[in-house]
Amino acid sequence: MKVGVLALQGAVAEHIRSIESTGAEGVAVKQPEQLMDIDGLIIPGGESTTIGKLMRKYGFIEAIQQFSSEGKPLFGTCAGLIVMAKKIDGGEEPHLGVMDISVSRNAFGRQRESFETDLEVKGLEEPLRAVFIRAPLITEVGESVEVLSTYNDEIVTARQGHLLVSSFHPELTDDASLHKYFTEMIQANKTAAK
Ligand code: GLN
């Protein structure tokens, strides 16, 4: 199984390390053509406006929308979550707009720019150490979106079929259980596609 990590900006190497620790192959994706060779794609954290601009510049918007419409799994973390959302609160133009969620950027405010906590995530056996860095929150979800975890009653992990998002950075700890969960989504998709 090959899992791509969109390598335009942000925490790319860390995601590749986490993916490889699950036994799958991790690939840095720099060109839209590489999407043909991978089974799932991670969109990392960083700065969503910058990632969105680079995606437009290098022809990734339509290519990833197409990848998603084929049912291939996407996993957006932090800025990657913002990039996947249908709606960004405050009126900013959406980027990929593939997932039926609304997000609020930098929603934890200045006092809590970054923090860590142990989170219960539906589908994971153990609580996950979650690192939040100027994190977004999911403020609304569509009917087909399943909430996988909340923090202080706010939604921070969600799934809609083949789409997975987290407000936090799961790649900054040694616990790769959410990456493992994503590889299981990819495996299920590959099996179904046969
Ligand atoms: N605050 C960033 C944004 O709005 C996201 C931060 C992150 O990815 N760690 O794009």
> Is there a binding annotation on residue 134?
yes
Give CA–CA dist 123/130, Å, rounded. 15
State in Å: Cα 192 to ligand 1 middle. 34
Buried residues in 131-164 as b, exposed as e (16+ CB within 10 A):
bbbbbbbbbebeeebeebbbbeeebbbbbbebbb
User: Where in the sequence numbering do the catalytic residues fall?
Assistant: 78, 169, 171
Interhelix angle 60-69/48-57, nearest 10 degrees: 90
Looking at residue 166, the DSSP 8-state letter turns out to be E
Residue ranges per structural domain of the chain? 2-193
- Tell me the pLDDT of the chain (194 aa) as tens digits: 999 999 999 999 999 999 999 999 999 999 999 999 999 999 999 999 999 999 999 999 999 999 999 999 999 999 999 999 999 999 999 999 999 999 999 888 765 789 999 999 999 999 999 999 999 999 999 999 999 999 999 999 999 999 999 999 999 999 999 999 999 999 999 888 77
Q: Is 105 annotated as a binding residue?
A: yes
Is the CB of 89 within 6 Å of ligand 1?
no
2-193 fold:
Rossmann fold (3.40.50)
The runs of H, that is alpha helices, within the chain are 12-21, 48-57, 60-69, 79-84, 177-193
For residue 106, which atom of ligand 1 is closest to its CA? 1
Distances in Å between the alpha carbon of 77 and those of 32, 33, 134, 158?
A: 20, 22, 12, 11
